[in-house]
């Protein structure tokens, strides 16, 4: 059925014509050829199965009307913003070169403190605005300009395909959702556009967002949720009842925790996932994909996704959650599921979140338990394993290589890092500047950015982002979820610390080694609370050796450094504040090191530090 508008409630709504489809028995494809100009019209299918007829949008929709109930006939070339043909993917040489900042489109600019124009707040077009500052006062950069200063390489966007939970037709409701309830996988969400009624607009504005981030040198990672649909009353089930889902008898399996689980192992379901990911990378220039509840998806499908993206470029990132909501209700054999225990069956360029490192660092995600950063040394060897991206035979091993490990301590799920630290300290002052709280945040950041693997942080972690203790804010209002950009000012010391960590990570290649070379060359010492390690370096033009020392206690520590190679006689302690770049704080002789309380020390051998400093000075 062809219609003039995307819904019956719009002005000028009119059903125009219906056409019958014919089956090609040799291919199994139903099709119809219609002559005339149908551009920008909308359509649905009437599908009859076992005597029951249901109306549905196209499973393969590339454009839709408001709230995604009708598909749209669209000329995709006409949705390209000016300069789109010249837009290029942003790639890093190795996955471990990426530095990922996870954000929700609404959170990014939903607060007036973002400095974004009122009409673009919470929208795709907020990413296209330059010159934004805190409260619009012209002093401290926000949004994309700020991200350039911070130094991240990729923005990870929480779901931006068309999802069900927000009524696009009534923005005055101010509904909010993270978007983990897919409706139309191959179409951008309409509530983030300036006009969800015109299917062209959301596509054009989405592409404009991607183009603006690329212009800033920042890659775009898309959060994809192929493990379930919003409900079983989906376009998939209306088109081919039950085929796309895993069932036990009449019961839909629920390893997603959302009422159904997508049957990725079935031929056309698998093909759909592979084709969909490829389409986003090709049509929208997406640079990476994060798979929600990847444990619900079979290993064969994920490897086929990797092969498909390699046809575009092998540097496109893939990572995901190596778990399910209920593995016992998955419908896949454990051996086929994309969980950590099966990482060896996946490409080494399909990464997984390292939750064992996360929990060892800060304790369980939502309670008052503690981890290493709060002074709890119970799981110290899990921390050491995490520093090595859980890819060392000596310690806990999950992954073949660091390129398979996402190293992190907070994400959109659960308490923010700041809120978790506060809860573990029985502190409910979300605007506190207590020194020990800030030092815990810094210690976490230092461990994440100097560990092997792919570093990942929640947007605003670097400015003590708070959701005031809301650990599951998936439908809480923007007043809870939106980034408060004024914290760039009130927590500027913390922001500066993160900038320095990113700068150091980019300079010292062994932090970013995708193979196990650095893992094999790292030498650890610990007294049960202080962790120290040394890494030699063979890369010309960089420091020859570094030593990292972490003290999580309220008292000083003393530790003797060791190495697989000869240690230097003297060290330089680095200072990497924002204004001066990486410079010398002070020098120490020997390898018996005193580490101040709640402190991270970066040590560089003095000879290579002096050599590089001299080279830089001679170039000025």
Give the Cα separation of 226 and 219 in Å (integer). 22
Q: Three-state SS string across 259-306, please?
A: CCCECCCCHHHHHHHHHHHHHHHHHHCCCEEEECCHHHCEHHHHHHHH
Output the domain CATH number for residue 577. Answer: 2.60.40.1180
Is residue 22 pLDDT above 80, yes or no? Answer: yes
Q: Looking up tokens 């592409």, which residue turns up?
A: 207
Active-site residue, selected from the candidate residues 129, 292, 439, 484: 292
pLDDT at residue number 580: 72
322 lies in the same domain as 370: yes
Give the Cα separation of 258 and 227 in Å (integer). 9
Final residue of a structural domain among 458, 482, 512 = 512
**321 flagged as catalytic:** yes
Is residue 620 pLDDT above 90, yes or no? Answer: no
Within-domain flag for 557: yes
Contacts of 393 (CB under 8 A, 6+ apart): none
Other Cβ atoms closer than 10 A to 348: 18
- Which one, of 598, 540, 599, 541, lies nearest residue 574 by Cα? 599
Within-domain flag for 529: yes
- Residue range 504-518: average pLDDT? 96
501 lies in the same domain as 553: no
pLDDT at residue number 566: 94
Contacts of 404 (CB under 8 A, 6+ apart): 343, 346, 348, 349, 350, 351, 352, 389, 391, 398
CB distance 457 to 446 below 8 Å: no
Per-residue burial over 509-523, b if 16 or more Cβ lie within 10 Å, else e, is bbbbbbbbebbebbb
pLDDT at residue number 313: 98
Active-site residue, selected from the candidate residues 58, 181, 321, 419: 321
Residues 260-278 pLDDT 10s: 999 999 999 999 999 999 9
Give the phi and the psi of residue 82 in degrees, each rounded to 5: -55, 130
Within-domain flag for 79: no
CB distance 283 to 186 below 8 Å: no
Residues 141-173 pLDDT 10s: 999 999 999 999 999 999 999 999 999 999 999
69 lies in the same domain as 99: no
Within-domain flag for 356: yes
Output the domain CATH number for residue 479. Answer: 3.20.20.80
467 lies in the same domain as 366: yes
- Measure the CA angle with vertex 435, ends 556 and 488; round to 5°: 135
Residues 66-94 pLDDT 10s: 999 999 999 999 999 999 999 999 999 99
CB distance 85 to 112 below 8 Å: no
Within-domain flag for 87: no
Confidence of residue 578 (pLDDT cuts 50, 70, 90): low
Within-domain flag for 571: yes
Residues 457-501 pLDDT 10s: 999 999 999 999 999 999 999 999 999 999 999 999 999 999 999
Residues 239-248 pLDDT 10s: 999 999 999 9
Q: Specify the range with the lowest mean pLDDT, choosing from 101-105, 328-332, 391-395, 443-447.
A: 391-395
Confidence of residue 617 (pLDDT cuts 50, 70, 90): low
40 lies in the same domain as 108: no
Within-domain flag for 81: no
115 lies in the same domain as 253: yes
144 lies in the same domain as 65: no
pLDDT at residue number 394: 87
Is residue 570 pLDDT above 70, yes or no? Answer: yes
474 lies in the same domain as 385: yes
Final residue of a structural domain among 512, 538, 568 = 512
Beta strand spans in 528-614 (E): 531-536, 545-551, 557-560, 570-575, 583-589, 592-595, 599-605
- Which one, of 276, 273, 268, lies nearest residue 242 by Cα? 268
Please give the structure tokens belonging to residue 434.
Answer: 């207590």
Domain that holds residue 558: 521-619
pLDDT at residue number 616: 64
How many Cα neighbours within 13 Å face the side chain of 586? 3
Residues 295-343 pLDDT 10s: 999 999 999 999 999 999 999 999 999 999 999 999 999 999 999 999 9
Within-domain flag for 214: yes
375 lies in the same domain as 499: yes
Other Cβ atoms closer than 10 A to 379: 19
The mean predicted confidence, pLDDT, of the chain is: 96
Is residue 613 pLDDT above 90, yes or no? Answer: no
434 lies in the same domain as 508: yes
210 lies in the same domain as 316: yes
Final residue of a structural domain among 443, 478, 512 = 512
CB distance 485 to 134 below 8 Å: yes
Please provide the distance, in angstroms rounded to a whole number, between the alpha carbons at the two ends of the chain: 69
Q: Looking up tokens 């983990």, which residue turns up?
A: 180
CB distance 40 to 11 below 8 Å: no
Confidence of residue 577 (pLDDT cuts 50, 70, 90): confident
196 lies in the same domain as 48: no
Give the Cα separation of 501 and 478 in Å (integer). 30
Question: How many domains does one find in the chain?
Answer: 3
Is residue 579 pLDDT above 80, yes or no? Answer: no
């Amino acid at each position: 059925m062809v219609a003039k508008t995307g819904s019956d409630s719009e002005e000028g709504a009119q059903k125009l014509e219906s056409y019958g489809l014919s089956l090609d028995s040799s291919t199994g494809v139903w099709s119809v050829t219609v002559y005339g100009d149908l551009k920008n019209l909308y359509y649905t299918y009437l599908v009859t199965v076992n005597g029951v007829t249901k109306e549905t949008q196209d499973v393969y929709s590339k454009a839709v009307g408001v709230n995604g109930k009708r598909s749209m006939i669209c000329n995709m070339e006409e949705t390209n913003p000016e300069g789109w043909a010249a837009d290029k993917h942003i790639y890093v040489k190795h996955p471990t070169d990426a530095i990922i900042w996870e954000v929700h489109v609404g959170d990014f600019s939903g607060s007036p403190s973002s400095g974004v124009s009122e009409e673009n707040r919470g929208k795709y077009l907020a990413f296209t605005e330059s010159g934004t500052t805190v409260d619009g006062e012209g002093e401290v950069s926000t949004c994309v300009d700020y991200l350039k200063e911070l130094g991240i390489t990729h923005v990870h966007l929480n779901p931006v395909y068309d999802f069900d939970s927000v009524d696009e037709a009534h923005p005055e409701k101010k509904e909010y959702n993270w978007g983990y309830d897919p409706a139309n996988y191959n179409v951008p969400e309409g509530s983030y556009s300036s006009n969800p009624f015109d299917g062209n607009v959301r596509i054009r504005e989405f592409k404009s967002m991607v183009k603006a981030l690329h212009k800033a040198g920042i890659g775009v990672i898309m959060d994809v949720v192929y493990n379930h649909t919003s409900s079983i009353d989906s376009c998939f089930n209306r088109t081919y009842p039950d085929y796309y889902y895993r069932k036990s008898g009449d019961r839909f399996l629920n390893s997603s925790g959302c009422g159904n689980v997508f049957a990725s192992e079935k031929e056309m379901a698998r093909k759909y996932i592979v084709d969909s990911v490829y389409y986003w990378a090709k049509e929208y220039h997406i640079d990476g994909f994060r798979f929600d509840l990847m444990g619900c998806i079979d290993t064969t499908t994920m490897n086929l996704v990797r092969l498909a993206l390699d046809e575009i470029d092998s540097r496109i990132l893939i990572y995901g959650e190596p778990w399910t909501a209920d593995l016992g209700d998955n419908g896949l054999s454990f051996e086929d599921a994309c969980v950590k225990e099966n990482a060896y069956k996946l490409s080494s360029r399909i990464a997984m979140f390292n939750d064992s490192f996360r929990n060892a660092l800060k304790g369980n995600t939502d309670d008052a338990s503690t981890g290493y950063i709060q002074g709890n040394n119970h799981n110290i060897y899990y921390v050491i394993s995490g520093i090595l991206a859980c890819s060392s035979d000596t310690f806990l091993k999950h992954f073949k290589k660091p390129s398979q490990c996402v190293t992190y301590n907070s994400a959109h799920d659960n308490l923010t890092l700041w809120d978790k630290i506060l809860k573990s300290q029985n502190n409910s002052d979300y605007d506190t500047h207590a020194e020990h709280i800030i030092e815990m945040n810094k210690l976490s950041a230092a461990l994440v950015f100097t560990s092997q693997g792919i570093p990942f942080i929640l947007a605003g972690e670097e400015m003590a982002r708070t959701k005031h203790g809301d650990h599951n804010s998936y439908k809480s209002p923007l007043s809870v979820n939106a980034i408060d950009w004024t914290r760039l000012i009130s927590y500027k010391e913390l922001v500066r610390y993160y900038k320095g960590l990113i700068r150091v990570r980019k300079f010292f290649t062994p932090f970013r080694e995708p193979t196990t070379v650095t893992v094999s060359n790292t030498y650890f010492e610990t007294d049960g609370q202080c962790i120290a390690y040394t890494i030699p370096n063979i890369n010309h033009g960089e420091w020859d050796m570094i030593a990292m020392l972490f003290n999580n206690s309220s008292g000083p520590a003393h530790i003797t450094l060791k190495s697989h190679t000869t240690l230097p006689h003297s060290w330089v302690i680095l200072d990497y504040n924002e204004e001066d770049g990486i410079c010398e704080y002070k020098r120490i002789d020997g390898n018996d090191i005193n580490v101040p309380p709640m402190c991270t020390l970066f040590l560089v051998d003095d000879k290579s530090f002096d050599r590089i400093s001299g080279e830089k000075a001679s170039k000025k």
